[in-house]
Amino acid sequence: MADSRKQVLDRREFLKRGALAGIGVGLFPLAEASASTPPSGPPQVRRYTTLGRTGLRISDISFGGSRLVSGQEDLVLHAYDRGINYFDTAETYTGGESETTIGNALRGKRDKVFLTSKVISSADDRRQTMMRALEGSLRRLQTDYVDIYFNHAVNNVERLKNPEWLEFTAEARKQGKIRFVGMSGHAGHLIECLDYALDSNGIDVFLAAYNFGQDPHFYQRFFGGFDFVARQPDLPRVIAKAKQKNVGVVVMKTLMGARLNDMRQYESAGATFSQAAFRWVLSNPDVDALIVSMTSREMIDEYLGASGWRSTAAADPPLLMRYARMNGASYCRHACNACESSCPRGVPIADVMRTRMYARDYGDIRLARSEYAMLVRNAEACLTCSSKPCRGACPHGVPIDSLTAPTHRLLV
């Protein structure tokens, strides 16, 4: 944790030294930018987008509340003041503190914002359980309804097929407690689940992990013969399918692990790695908006430097390529899942790696522990596994066998 605190300070120091001064000055090369005029004044949301069939007009860069804790109401208000109008949370985030903080901060502003929440409903949960979870979220958010209610972290089609989920969402809609239904996901069976949700017409919005490091177009365009292989060739297809069906597409985990401080020395004022990564996903015309965890005012202001763009900027490819080269070998693509069958003891390797990312890359041990505790199966088996058949199973070179046991020790 000492390291992670140092990283945050380093980043703040960088921003203080003037990187932000460049945002809105040299950031919008007119040849590439979709904004018609370069921004002036403080960073702010520069584009609102229609979220598919919901018709909601949401900020293209929106507030992810997974790391929000009590006492951070000012952070939420800073985002609101900058024009962010879509706040994403879940009952499990920070043990309910995220919802409570958003509810406190946005009291009196309900008609000006869109609120989402999520529940992890299992394949055999009853609708009464789901309704209780929803009502708990509404209480903490201090509202009568959420705009979108997500079936959270879905990695198993059976959860979507559960008739109780369908009846619960229908009933909650009738009662006015939810307006639209969504599905979120970031694990190995994401594509299969999204395909099912779209084909069965079961969702209005999806929220999925998507970044340049998972996108085959990135490797095709920039790497040529370089030895990288995108392991989610179907993700752009599913995103395009959602667009065709007028389902809203919000993406997350857009920073490919968010090892931001590693990149500071290569960034220039107003053209940072995070802005480049955001521009990459927002340049996909099938993506409506992104959410990202916002943990400081400086971060919000930096992130909003990419608002309004629908294309990459000239300085982006070198930054993204450098990041991919630096981190590609240790970055787990989560949903690629090529290693899934390598573990005879059924360890959900991609999920374990995701929680490790929260701890190591985000520096958020609390989030990591809470997500790890929710795994149906964890990496305890790795403590006593001597032959380690998962060794070499990752085509990207992630050293699975040396990471899973330490992750378990760290997070239990």
Contacts to ligand SF4 by CB under 6 A: 231, 332-334, 336-339, 343, 345, 347, 349-350, 353, 379, 381-382, 385, 388-390, 394, 396, 398, 400-401, 404
> Is 122 or 402 the residue whose CB approaches ligand SF4 more closely?
402
* Rounded Cα gap, residues 98 and 64, in angstroms: 10
CA distances from 205 to 45, 180, 322, 332 (A): 21, 8, 33, 25
Across 105-168, where does the E strand assignment appear?
Answer: 114-119, 146-151
* Rounded Cα gap, residues 283 and 301, in angstroms: 20
Q: How far is the CB of 230 from ligand SF4 (least distance, A)?
A: 11
**Can you spell out the DSSP letters for 19-31?**
GGGGTTTTS--TT
Q: How far is the CB of 381 from ligand SF4 (least distance, A)?
A: 4
> Is 369 or 388 the residue whose CB approaches ligand SF4 more closely?
388
Please report where in the chains the tokens 């959270």 appear, as a residue.
152
Q: How far is the CB of 397 from ligand SF4 (least distance, A)?
A: 8
CA distances from 5 to 8, 261, 365, 407 (A): 5, 12, 12, 20
Q: How far is the CB of 227 from ligand SF4 (least distance, A)?
A: 14
> Residue 116's closest CA among 246, 291, 239?
291
Backbone angles phi, psi at 402, to 5 degrees: -100, 0
Q: How far is the CB of 282 from ligand SF4 (least distance, A)?
A: 24
Q: Which amino acid is at 127?
A: R
> Is 68 or 187 the residue whose CB approaches ligand SF4 more closely?
187
> Is 312 or 337 the residue whose CB approaches ligand SF4 more closely?
337
Sign of CA dihedral 257, 258, 261, 264: positive
> Is 77 or 338 the residue whose CB approaches ligand SF4 more closely?
338
> Is 87 or 331 the residue whose CB approaches ligand SF4 more closely?
331
> Is 80 or 323 the residue whose CB approaches ligand SF4 more closely?
323
> Is 242 or 336 the residue whose CB approaches ligand SF4 more closely?
336
Report CA Rg, the chain.
20
Are β-strands 114-119 and 248-252 bridged in parallel, bridged antiparallel, or unpaired?
unpaired
Q: What angle do CA 258, 248, 257 make, to 5 degrees?
A: 10
Q: How far is the CB of 253 from ligand SF4 (least distance, A)?
A: 13
Q: How far is the CB of 103 from ligand SF4 (least distance, A)?
A: 35
**H or E segment at 407?**
helix 400-411
* Rounded Cα gap, residues 224 and 228, in angstroms: 9
Q: How far is the CB of 123 from ligand SF4 (least distance, A)?
A: 23
Contact between 23 and 270 under an 8 Å Cβ cutoff? The reply is yes
